[in-house]
Structure 1
Amino acid sequence: MSKFVKELIISEIESQIGEVRDFVVVDSAKLDAITDNGFRLKLQEKGISTLTVKNSLARRAFANAGVEGLEDVLKGPSTLVWGGEDIVALSKEMSKWASDIENLAIKGGSTEGTALTSDDVTKLSKSPGRMELIGEIVSRILGPGAQLAGAIKGPGGTLAGQIKTISEGDES
């Protein structure tokens, strides 16, 4: 491959990944064409992109883009996967696919410059996602306020009931 062609491929990889810094790398080389195509289409429906790369060119593209942590996992057949809501959602999706498709193997990944092994990706897939964490934070913030409102409303409701009873003339 000529130097000009290599530079074209590197610039294409850089343009496709853009500003993304969270990746999972899988080995999909053993998949048959029908399974691989179905896999990619289902991921695309969920806003997840895939790109099968030549490792040496991908390393150079990542170095140019400032992405770190993928040097060790870019060995052998590699398909880059990125997108989705966050790295946890991406890890959950790829772990699900790896368990559903026999010949699909997670090789590792990278998040914010930190390298992830395949075990790290699996562990990350079991942690709560971004929306789950936001929901938990909101419920913890609202919890004391709801308790305070209940404490204030209880005696107030009792007092209002007593005032209503007195106003109706049913004094005891």
Structure 2
Amino acid sequence: MDRTEKRAFVAFLADVFNSTSMVVVTENKGLTVADVTELRRRVRAAGATYKVAKNRLASRALDGTQFNGIAPLLKGPTALAWSEDPVAVAKAIVEFAKTNDKLVVLGGALGSQTLGVAEVKALAELPSLDELRAKLVGMIQTPATRIAGVTQAPAAQLARVFGAYAKTGEAA
């Protein structure tokens, strides 16, 4: 990379750090190209981005952002993953790390709060934003279906009673 490419990359990362809500730092020592391709596919499917960055350039991009607390994690072969949905990026990275021991989660940051490995894994266990929305809609719809069932029950009972009287009248 020449200086202009480095400046452009630092500016790109600074924009990312100013616009995202969650960053996860990983150590990717020994990952094959196929592994990284599969990881990027999973991360992209979760609506996140995974990027290998030079530590010095990433540290420069971190200056003055809310994620400045992850600077000490940038040692050795590291990569960054980020997303607007904090659960999605954490879940994608942690699930891949479970199946591939060469990817190690070093920590991350949620806004200005620096997270350790345990916190990132705990965040990954939470339901995603879409799952929470689906549960909320289900909870809202449940009382409505119960009310409809309760209001229809007396009419159905009356119909059964009239049907029973009709059958006894026919039998007599």
User: In the alignment, what sits opposite 2:129?
Assistant: 130
Q: Tell me the alpha carbon deviations over residues 38-95 of structure 1, each in whole angstroms, 9 at most, x when there is no partner.
A: 4334544554322112223213313355545423433332201124x72212212111
Higher helix share: 2
User: In the alignment, what sits opposite 2:60?
Assistant: 60
User: In the alignment, what sits opposite 2:73?
Assistant: 73
User: In the alignment, what sits opposite 1:88?
Assistant: 87
CA distance in 2, matches of 1:95, 1:5: 31
Contact 2:105 2:117 in 1 (8 A): yes
* Identity percentage of aligned residues: 26
CA distance in 2, matches of 1:136, 1:34: 36
Report the CA distance between 1:155 and its aligned residue: 0.9
Equivalent pairs counted in the alignment come to 171
Q: TM-score, normalised by structure 2?
A: 0.77
Question: Is the alpha carbon distance of 1:160 and 1:69 closer, same or farther for their aligned partners in structure 2, counting shifts above 3 Å?
Answer: farther
Question: Is the alpha carbon distance of 1:35 and 1:22 closer, same or farther for their aligned partners in structure 2, counting shifts above 3 Å?
Answer: same
Structure 2: tracts of 5 or more residues without a match: none
CA distance in 2, matches of 1:153, 1:6: 69
Amino acid in structure 1 at the alignment position of 2:144: G
Question: What SS does structure 1 have at the residue aligned with 2:19?
Answer: coil
Matched, 1:119 2:106: no
CA distance in 2, matches of 1:21, 1:28: 22
What is the alpha-carbon root mean square deviation over aligned residues? 3.2
CA distance in 2, matches of 1:87, 1:54: 23
Question: Is the alpha carbon distance of 1:42 and 1:134 closer, same or farther for their aligned partners in structure 2, counting shifts above 3 Å?
Answer: closer
Amino acid in structure 1 at the alignment position of 2:91: K
Q: TM-score, normalised by structure 1?
A: 0.77
